[in-house]
Amino acid sequence: MKIDDWQDFLALVKDVWNNGLFGVDVGQIIIAVGIFLVFMVLRNLMTRLILNRLVGWAKRTNTRVDDAVVDAVEGPVRFIPVVLGIFFATAYLELDAESAALASKLNRSLIAFVIFWALFRASAPVGELLQRADRFLTEAMILWLSKAIRMAFAIIGAAAILEIWGIEVGPLIAGLGLFGVAVALGAQDLFKNLISGLFVIGERRFHPGDWILVDGVVEGTVEQIGFRTTTVRRFDKAPVFVPNAKLSDQAVTNFSRMTFRRIKWVIGLEYRSTAEQLQNVRDGIEKYLSENEDFVRPEETATFVRLDSFNANSIDILLYCFTRTTNWLEWLEIKEKLLLQIKHIVEDAGTGFAFPSRSLYLETMPGEIELAPIHVTGDKQE
């Protein structure tokens, strides 16, 4: 082996060392990797320092929104040392024009990613500020706006990164137009439900927690108003996912918005009741309603107790009144007390409640024993 061979080998090693990767010195690559690793080692320390500063600033304010924002952006903050490491590592390398442009796009993309990621995460707690506008916006509208803001940041961030890499967003959106038309034709119900959901929220037909009834569809408590469907919990605790179009096109009864709750009864008294007894029963019921704070006064809404009609089996009294409570359980309790009180009033008046009855008369047949009238009451005969 000649000395010239060794010299050739050393020259080859030196050439590889000087032009290791993309014309970059291997020594520079090693140092660049070392710079990146230093930032990775210091990542926890840097993240802790930044977050501690942010937490300290948030504690000096009276609102809790900034505290929630600091918690939300912890992920993007932890990614900052990675971005710094890549930036300083690529800045140290002596790259050619093409590689330098590629590294610049990479760094700009990472910076844009961190910024819009932080905005995306922070928009959730910031959406709580919309709660202060509850006089103008419903809870469902606030939820939708919060989701729309997060989606907007995600779309803008993606568009910004695509622009950095030279991808025109405008032509891309135009190119998706034909595809969007095809999708729209196959997803008409989806868009119909989305638009119907906007109408439901905008018209404030109901809110989460309201008791609603849609004839032939569902009755229960609204849990969530979504983009396409609304979740209604039936009274047997089964969830029903109702397309928003059904809630927009059909009549919806919102029982939670009742000002008062109605009681309408027809009380049938026996025909043997005297006029005085009928008057006493009517006056007794009316007095009970006027003295009981559970019932609405006649001057506030229609309330009356009147002798109504001569029915086939009874003389009817029409009772029409409203309770102040709209709670179903409380309403049942008040109605029970009213029923017992009416029972006492009728008994004290010396009359009774009528019930369906019928009298049959049989004439005396020649050569047969005279038969007495048969009085039929319900399923019994006398």
What pLDDT digit, counting tens, does each position of 208-251 carry? 888 888 888 889 999 988 878 889 999 888 999 988 888 888 88
The dihedral built from the CA positions of residue 180, 183, 187 and 188, taken in this order, carries a sign that is positive
Number of domains in the chain: 3
Q: Which of 100, 135, 167 is the last residue of a domain?
A: 167
CATH of the domain at 324: 3.30.70.100
For residues 126 and 93, state if they share a domain: yes
For residues 252 and 265, state if they share a domain: no
For residues 245 and 269, state if they share a domain: no
CATH of the domain at 215: 2.30.30.60
Q: What is the dihedral angle through the alpha carbons of 19, 22, 27, 32, rounded to the nearest 10 degrees?
A: 170
pLDDT, position 381 = 41
Residue 179 has what DSSP assignment?
A: H
For 77-102, letters b (16+ CB in 10 Å) and e give bbbbbebbbbbebbeebebeeebeee
The parent domain of residue 232 ranges over 189-256
For residues 56 and 143, state if they share a domain: yes
For residues 44 and 143, state if they share a domain: yes
Whether 33 shows a pLDDT value over 90: the answer reads no
pLDDT, position 382 = 41
Is the full-model pTM beyond 0.85? no
Q: Which two tokens stand for residue 25?
A: 């010195």
- The most confident of the ranges 124-133, 136-145, 181-190, 199-208 is 199-208
The C-alpha atoms of residue 20 and residue 14 are separated, in whole angstroms, by 10
pLDDT, position 380 = 42
For residues 20 and 151, state if they share a domain: yes
For residues 287 and 227, state if they share a domain: no
The C-alpha atoms of residue 195 and residue 245 are separated, in whole angstroms, by 8
Cα–Cα distances in angstroms (integers) from residue 168 to residues 160, 161, 165, in the given order: 10, 11, 9
Q: Which of 202, 228, 256 is the last residue of a domain?
A: 256
Inter-residue contact 212 to 232 (CB < 8 Å): yes
The C-alpha atoms of residue 307 and residue 279 are separated, in whole angstroms, by 8
Instruction: For residue 264, list its beta bridge partners.
Output: 320
For residues 148 and 290, state if they share a domain: no
